[in-house]
Structure 1
């Protein structure tokens, strides 16, 4: 027997033993165990949003997917002591409970390719927190035929007041999951699901069935509600499946589902990239939980918030401190009122009081336990924030969003920053661990009491994307020649400068160009982040420009700033030729990713986060596009941007949700070579060969030989001399004059204008505008 090769890896605070990393587990795809471990480690921050605290059933494939596989529910006796477990079921099995990334790595090392989760979470293992409808098609049924059935069931489920989420199973089926409050046993929830499924199946009897036995299905899709039983499970969101192609059970938006042809497109090699690029389609899942429809209290009209016993009526004891500090005839804040609600809601407020801070409020014993957090939620593990406990607040504060008048306690604007549900995951002697789930914020935190009212707040789990440290690429726009006239757009100036992503972390600024080149050192006037922003942490999309006396951007000046060298020279230029940074979007703010919020809402957060009278300015927008374009044309500006007000931010992707309308038609191209010059151009070049990059491919666009003056030609020649000469680069299209051309490494970026594309995909009448060193990738 071959000796097992082992090594130890540090995963968080755990040491995990790994073995036989080169063992092939998916033979047809050449996927080895190391890739499976890597996948589960990378997807852990998102997968654990759904599996954390749940008992797991494992499907192990010790010899790969072509060998024998088996279910495992019992925790192995030799499992490390730090692995949590819970004893469940009539057979008293010790189920492993999902907790942290290290556990996923340990399970992957056991070739536990599939993770199946029970429908309940600790501490209420006897009460499910979602209702699942498993659409199981018969043999030979195509995946695309299941989609309209799923959509029809979704519409029915919504009429019962639930929010249905959908995911692929990793096979040809779909799971529709509806978050519910964990307040009833499995049988009661099953009956509620049956109450929905029965009339649906009767309505679509030719297409769907509730018959479990395959011979009774007669080619119909099974609507399997029988999984909603104690001890039953479904494959976890983002879990692998032990099948060829290494597919993943992938959560999707309903719009995304309509575009899916084959669920295998979501697999071990594409899933993480999709989540990082598009975000988690199920974000905030738990925040949509509602009571099951068969046990909902009857809704009665609420009376206006009037105290019939007058202003002298005493509030509950725990709200006396709150009431004493406020005059409710002057402040719009909710008055203290008795409450016997024992729910689990939370709210985080962004509060402009004497100093900007955040208020964390957790529902407990009928009130909101509250802490003021000066620097906001910690963005990732290792960052600790002071949290000062304040007086308890009434539950009505969960939805309070407004301005507290001057002269009143806590005067200033108060915005709802995040609103959802929380769960205490672990009690400690001087504090507790808790998980926040909402549309805006999802994460696990620990709060620890130090002394008196002072607590320490820290994040426990790693976010899937660390917006402060990751290489985030900016969202890109499609180009059009006409201003859109449809409703739903906002418009802003297209600033003629250097596109930059500005990150702020505890007052420190870092600036990266579109090509991820760090140019922070080039712009010292932009370093004072603590003076420029009303925020501790943030990531902003912007354009750095140099302005002339009339306020018009001059591209050549900002490029001069970009290419300047020497600390003393750069400092001198920051005063003689200063830049301004026009910010037009906000991707992240004080512990909260904003990329999934509508653009118009991100604009509100942005306007609130940037201080006036600094080198940073908010790029203003307007609702009328044609007049803005006409003004841009009149003042010889580059053009305007038209953006859907409801658009999400899609890092690194080009989308028609954003449109650029230029005063002149132009394109960014790569210089791939040049022809020799004649006469006065004998010492430089005749024309530049150019190609346009589409995806990872260069498409040949011909030659550009006009638009140069003598000084520009000398500058270009100096740049090209530093580029390596190569054989003809790999481009799409037939190149011109190959025998007299000097071919170059495709790294120099330029901008050219042209009239239109010819039938053979060349630029007609191209004219050189300028080099774009800001788009080049910095040398390693």
Structure 2
């Protein structure tokens, strides 16, 4: 028998024993246990958004997917004491409860490749919180044929007032899940699902069926609603499956689903990257919960001047502190009405009162329990924020968004920063844990009372993307020769400077270039966080420029700042050649990502965040693109940007949602070699070989031999002397002057202008513009 190899790993606050990390679990794909553990640890922040608090059924593959596998519901007797469990079902099984990343690591170490979840959450294990429709096609069924069926069912579900979410099962089917309020038992929810499924099957009898027996399906897709019954489960979102290719049960947007050819596109190698790049397609899932359609109350006229007894209603006296502070003839704030029901909604406001702060409001006992949080929601575990409890507010404040007039209590603008539903996950002696679910914020927090009205607020779970510390790549634009026409575009100047991502964290500034080079020390005048921003934490996309006396950006000046050395010299340059930072986007602000909001809304957050009269400036936008381009041409600027007003921010992706419209056609090219010089160029070079990087490949674009003066040629030669030579570069396209050229590693970037591409994909009439050391 092979000797068991084990080691201990620290996962959060837990120590987890790991064993036989090199054991192959997916033989055909050469995937070992260590890779499975790594996957579950990386995807944990997102997976736990949906599995946290749920009882799990495990499918274990101790000898890999080609060996024997088995279901496990009971918690092993030898499980660590910190692993939570609950006893459920007629058989009294001790189900493991999903709680934290360390649990996922522990389960992965047991070769629990598949995590299947029950449909209810702690503590309401008998009340499902979503309705699931499992589209199960027969063997050999083409996956693309399943998509129209799913889209048709989506339309039906929406007609009943549900918000359906879709995911691949990691097998051959799809799960469509509709979040519902956890107020009815499994049988009642099953009957509601049946009420939808029966007419759907009757409408498409040749395509779908409710027949469980395979021989009765006759090649049709099973609409399996029987999984919603008590004790049943579905594979968890983002769980692996024990199949060749190591597929993942992947949540998708409905637009994404229409382009899927095979569920194997989403697997252990691609899933985490997709979530980081595109975001979580199911974000805010719980915030869309509605009552099941068979038990929705019929709308009735509200009765006036009646205050029923009971905890579900609040009398005017219970909002007395709120009412005393306000004159409702002068402020647009709600006066407060008698609520009709108890719910679990929350709102976070960004509030410009005497000092900017955030207001956290949680619905409880018919009012909104409220806390003022001066520095906003904590961004990640370990950060504690002061939260000062204020007076209870009426439920109408959930949708209040406006300006409180000067002279009134709390005067100033108040913006809805996040709006959704919350759940208390654990009660403590002096506080509680709670989870926020919304389109804007999804996370678990703890609030703890310190004294009187002072509380501490902290985040418990780790977000999937840490915008303040991870390397976030900027969104990139396509290029066009003409200004796009039509509504829906914003236009702004294309600043001729250094692209930079500006991180603000508790008053401290960090500046990184597009290739993640930290250049904070090069620009001391920009290290003024609290003076420049109305925010505690943020991530901005910007361009750093140096201006001439007329206010025109001069690229050579900002490159001089970038390449300067010595603290004394850099300080002198802040006076003689000061830098300015034009910010055009905001990716993250005080506890939540903004990347999924439309650009026009991000611009509003940005304008509200930047203080006037500092080196930081908002890059203004206009609606008239052609006029802006003409003005750019008159002032000899580089060009303009055209951006879709409704576009999301897509880190690291080049997209036509943003377009560069340049006065001159140009490209960023890599210098891959040079030819020998002759005559007065004998000491330098004749021409530069250039290639353009498209994706991961280099495409040869020919040679450039014009655009240099003597000083530029000497500068380029000095740079290229430091670059390692190579026998022959790996490029797409036929190389010119191959035998007489010196070939170089592709690390030096230059900007090249040209008239157009030739039929063999070379730059026609290329002209050297400048080196791009910032890239």
Flag whether TM exceeds 0.5 (same fold): yes
1:322–1:336 CA contact under 8 A, matched in 2: no
Query: Matched residue of 2:49: which SS?
Result: helix
Whole-Å separation in 2 of the counterparts to 1:512 and 1:496: 17
Q: 2: distance between equivalents of 1:306 and 1:403? A: 30
* Alignment-derived partner of residue 311 in structure 1: none
Deviation string, structure 1 residues 193-252 (Cα, Å, up to 9, x no partner): 111111110000000000000011000000000001000000000000000000000000
Partner residue in 2 for 1:778: none
Give the drift of 1:729: 1.3
Counterpart in 2 of 1:405?
Answer: 405
**Structure 2 residue 658 is the aligned partner of structure 1 residue 658:** yes
Counterpart position of 2:526: 526
Q: In structure 2, what is the Cα distance between the partners aligned to 1:626 and 1:5?
A: 68
Q: Give SS of 1:126's match.
A: coil
Aligned to 1:448: 448
1:232-311 alignment to 2 at 5 Å? 232-300=232-300
Equivalence for 2:311: none
CA–CA distance in structure 1, aligned partners of residues 322 and 425 of structure 2: 28
CA distance in 2 between partners of 1:53 and 1:336 (Å):
35
Matches within 5 A, 1:56-455: 56-300=56-300, 315-339=315-339, 341-455=341-455
Alignment of 1:506 with 2:515, yes or no, is no
Equivalents in 2 of 1:95, 1:727: separation in Å? 62
Q: State the alpha-carbon separation in 2 of the partners of residues 705 and 343 from structure 1.
A: 71
How far residue 315 of structure 1 moved from its aligned partner, in angstroms, is: 4.9
Contact 1:496 1:638 in 2 (8 A): yes
CA deviations 1:360-399 (Å, max 9, x no partner) are: 0001000110000000000000100000000111111000
Deviations along 1:444-503, one digit per CA (max 9) or x if unpaired, are 000011111100000000000000000000000000101111221111111010000000
Q: Structure 1, residues 728-763: CA drift from partner, whole Å, max 9, x if none? A: 111111111111111111100000001111111111
CA 1:686 to 1:303, structure 2 compared with 1: closer, same or farther past 3 Å? farther
What is the DSSP-based 3-state SS (H/G/I as helix, E as strand, rest coil) of the residue aligned with 2:226? coil
Deviations 1:678-718 (A, max 9, x none): 11111111100000001111110000000011111111111
Cα distance in structure 1, aligned partners of 2:94 and 2:190: 24
2:147 alignment partner, SS class: helix
State how far apart, in whole Å, the 2-side matches of 1:463 and 1:117 are.
21
What secondary structure is seen at the aligned counterpart in 1 of 2:46?
helix
1:585-596, aligned counterparts within 5 Å? Answer: 585-596=585-596
Residues 92-129 of structure 1, C-alpha deviations (whole Å, 9 max, x = no match): 11100000000000000000000000000011100000
CA 1:707–1:247 in 2, change beyond 3 Å: closer, same or farther?
same
Shift of 1:721: 1.1
Cα distance in structure 2, aligned partners of 1:698 and 1:365: 63
Query: Against the structure 1 CA distance between its residues 302 and 721, is the aligned structure 2 distance closer, same or farther, given a 3 Å change threshold?
Result: farther
**Does 1:554 pair with 2:539?**
no
Q: What residue in structure 2 maps to residue 23 of structure 1? A: 23
Matched with 1:771 is 771
User: Could you tell me which residue of structure 2 aligns to residue 713 of structure 1?
Assistant: 713
Q: Secondary structure at the match of 1:256?
A: helix
What secondary structure is seen at the aligned counterpart in 2 of 1:738?
Answer: coil
1:532–1:611 CA contact under 8 A, matched in 2: yes
Structure 1 unaligned spans of 5+: 308-313, 776-780
Q: Distance in 2 between matches of 1:764 and 1:332?
A: 63
**CA–CA distance in 1 between the matches of 2:593 and 2:301?**
36
Match of 2:40 in 1: 40
Write out per-residue CA displacement over residues 265-294 of structure 1, whole angstroms, 9 at most, x where no aligned residue.
Answer: 100000000000000000000000000111
Between the aligned partners of 1:306 and 1:625, the Cα distance in structure 2 is 57
Q: CA deviation at 1:722?
A: 1.3
Q: CA deviation at 1:186?
A: 0.5
Alpha-carbon deviations, 1:589-613, whole Å to 9, x = none? 0001000010111001000011111
Q: Distance in 1 between matches of 2:300 and 2:686?
A: 81
Distance of aligned partners of 1:350 and 1:305 in 2 relative to their CA distance in 1, 3 Å threshold: farther
Paired residues of 1:341 and 1:365 also in contact (CA < 8 A):
no
Question: 1: CA distance between counterparts of 2:258 and 2:575?
Answer: 55
What residue in structure 2 maps to residue 310 of structure 1? none
Task: After superposition, give the CA deviation of every residue in 1:406-429 in whole Å (9 maximum; x if it has no partner).
Answer: 011100000000000101101111
TM (normalized to structure 2)?
A: 0.98
Give the structure 2 partner of residue 51 of structure 1. Answer: 51
Task: Give TM-score scaled by structure 1 length.
Answer: 0.98
SS at match of 2:612: coil
CA shift, 1:316, in A, is: 2.9
Report the CA distance between 1:139 and its aligned residue. Answer: 1.0
Taking the aligned partners of 1:576 and 1:454, their CA distance within structure 2 comes to: 48
Matched residues in 1 for 2:570 and 2:201: separation? 72
SS of equivalent residue, structure 2 residue 104: helix
3-state SS, counterpart of residue 747 of structure 1: strand
Tell me if 1:675 matches 2:675. yes
Q: CA 1:305–1:387 in 2, change beyond 3 Å: closer, same or farther?
A: farther
Structure 1 residue 636 and structure 2 residue 640: aligned? no
| CA–CA separation in structure 2 for the residues paired with 1:213 and 1:668 | 61
Matching residue of 1:617: 617
How far the C-alpha of 1:306 sits from its partner, in A, is 13
Could you tell me how far apart the structure 1 residues matched to 2:155 and 2:473 are?
Answer: 37
- How much does 1:304 deviate? 11
Contact 1:643/1:659, CA 8 A, preserved across alignment: yes
CA distance in 1 between counterparts of 2:251 and 2:696 reads 28
Query: Match of 1:645?
Result: 645
Q: Tell me, in whole angstroms, the C-alpha distance in 1 between the residues paired with 2:303 and 2:160.
A: 26
CA contact (8 A) 1:443 1:463 kept: yes
| Mapped contact 1:347–1:360 kept (Cα < 8 A) | yes
1:741 counterpart = 2:746: no
Q: How many residues align?
A: 769
CA contact (8 A) 1:9 1:18 kept: yes
Partner Cα distance (2:341, 2:253) in 1: 33
Q: Which residue of 1 aligns with 2:310?
A: none
Q: Secondary structure at the residue paired with 1:740?
A: coil
Question: Could you report, residue by residue, the CA deviation over 1:312-367 in whole angstroms, capped at 9, with x for unpaired residues?
Answer: xx953321111111111111111133335321110000000000000000010001
